[in-house]
């Protein structure tokens, strides 16, 4: 199979390249060429810009396209229409953030309404527009590849090469040991998907030309925060001690949900963040490696990076110590 990856040099794209090559496929990437070239020599590299310079894609054909880098509907629409005559199948990597008023709905499935924008011409991507823009991108893909596309809505993608630290923070913090601020209730649910599991499954969808809309997060059983953190402690062999701190305390002290305290969202915002219904993806072949393997490999990758690297997510050590001291003074 000849597969075109729109993206390919960062995180999910890198894992997609490895998965497709490992299964004997011919891989082409289309990128702007602004990141370090870390891909195997077997990859055909095309350089351009989806926003106005797609000449490098002309005159070629692919069995499938996997779009990991689409955020603006106008740009995604242009790419999809161009490739409609050059590719047999199109996979668009969207997000569970497309859902309207989510989180707040338990066990949400693919039939639930997606968000909209009052002004569909908006192109600034931020916390408010990200989901609605992804939903509009989905519409563009379905219009260009009617009946021969898959729309995949992952949850939090984790594992080696993750630039966000939204998951990596926890294995790294637990490995360092000591007293750890654990947000919310121990029994609150969370969901993640290893980028390698997602990549393998996306390649499977491309091979089979499996059309449809799919939520894609995991694991395939309820995962509590305490279970996740204890798994990390076991893998790292640390002597970490977890101090569970209430939603009320965190909100009162203006701790940022999801980014400053990764994987945490106040439960008063409603159910949904940890129990998305992914039954359709499971039926289409999505599988998950053990969490312990994801934690081990994430830690190993983290150790290859500078110890003073700046990350966009996670509690700073001084901030965590301050919050823990305040919590103990009140309890």
Enumerate the domain spans of the chain: 2-158+193-218, 169-190+221-271+290-330
**Beta strands 257-258 and 261-262: pairing type?**
parallel
Length of the chain: 331
Asked if 258 contacts 167 with a C-beta cutoff of 8 angstroms, the reply is: no
The whole-number pLDDT of residue 323 equals: 98
The whole-number pLDDT of residue 249 equals: 98
Give pLDDT tens digits for 161-211. Answer: 999 999 999 999 999 999 999 999 999 999 999 999 999 999 999 999 999
Three-state SS letters, the chain: CEEEEEECCCHHHHHHHHHHHHCCCEEEEEECCCCCCCCCCCCEEEECECCCECHHHCCCCECEEEECCCCCHHHHHHHHHHHCCCECCEEEECCHHHECCCCCCCCCCCCCCECCCCCCCCCCCCCCCHHHHHHHHHHHHHHHCCCCEEEEEECCEECCCCCCCCCCHHHHHHHHCCEEEEECCCCCEEEEEEHHHHHHHHHHHHHHCCCEEEEECEEEEEEEHHHHHHHHHHHHCCCCEEEEECHHHHHHCCCCEECCEECCCCHHHCCCCCCCCCHHHHHCCCCCCCHHHHHHHHHHHHCCCCCCCCCCCCCCHHHHHHHHHHHHHHC
Full-model pTM = 0.96
The whole-number pLDDT of residue 272 equals: 77
**Third-level CATH fold of 169-190+221-271+290-330:** UDP-galactose 4-epimerase; domain 1 (3.90.25)
The whole-number pLDDT of residue 307 equals: 83
Cα–Cα distances (Å) from 105 to 133, 197, 216, in that order, read 20, 26, 17
The whole-number pLDDT of residue 19 equals: 98
Structure tokens at 243: 């101090």
For domain 2-158+193-218, say whether CATH 3.30.420.40 is its number.
Answer: no
Question: Which residues, given as ranges, of the chain have pLDDT below 50?
Answer: none
CB atoms within 10 A of CB 219: 18
Closest by CA position to 258, among listed 134, 169, 327, 320: 169
User: Tokens 């499935």 identify what position?
Assistant: 109
The whole-number pLDDT of residue 273 equals: 82
User: Tokens 């066990």 identify what position?
Assistant: 107
């Amino acid at each position: 199979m000849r597969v075109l990856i729109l993206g390919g040099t960062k995180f999910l794209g890198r894992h997609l390249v490895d998965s497709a090559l490992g299964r004997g496929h011919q891989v082409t990437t289309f990128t702007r060429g602004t990141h370090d070239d870390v891909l195997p020599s077997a990859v055909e590299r095309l350089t351009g810009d989806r926003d106005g310079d797609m000449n490098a894609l002309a005159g070629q054909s692919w069995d499938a396209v996997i779009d990991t880098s689409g955020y603006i509907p106008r740009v995604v629409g242009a790419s999809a229409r161009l490739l409609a005559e050059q590719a047999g199948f199109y996979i668009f990597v969207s997000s569970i953030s497309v859902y309207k008023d989510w989180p707040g709905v338990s066990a949400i499935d693919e039939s639930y309404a997606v968000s909209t924008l009052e002004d569909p011409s908006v192109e600034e991507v931020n916390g408010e527009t990200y989901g609605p823009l992804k939903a509009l991108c989905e519409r563009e893909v379905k219009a260009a590849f009617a009946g021969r596309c898959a729309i995949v809505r992952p949850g939090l993608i984790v594992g080696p090469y993750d630039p966000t630290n939204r998951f990596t923070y926890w294995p790294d913090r637990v490995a360092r040991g000591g007293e750890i601020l654990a947000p919310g209730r121990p029994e609150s649910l969370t969901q993640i998907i290893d980028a390698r599991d997602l990549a393998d499954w996306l390649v499977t969808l491309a091979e089979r030309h499996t059309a449809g809309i799919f939520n894609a997060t995991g694991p395939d059983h309820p995962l509590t925060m305490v279970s996740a953190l204890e798994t990390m402690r076991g893998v790292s062999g640390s002597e970490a001690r977890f101090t569970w701190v209430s939603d009320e305390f965190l909100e009162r002290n203006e701790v940022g949900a999801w980014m400053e305290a990764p994987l945490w969202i106040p439960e008063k915002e409603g159910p949904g963040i940890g129990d998305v219904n992914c039954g359709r993806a499971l039926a289409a072949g999505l599988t998950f490696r053990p969490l312990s393997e994801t934690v081990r490999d994430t830690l190993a990758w983290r150790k290859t990076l500078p110890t003073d690297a700046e990350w966009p997510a996670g509690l700073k050590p001084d901030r965590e110590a301050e919050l823990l001291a305040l919590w103990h003074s009140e309890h």
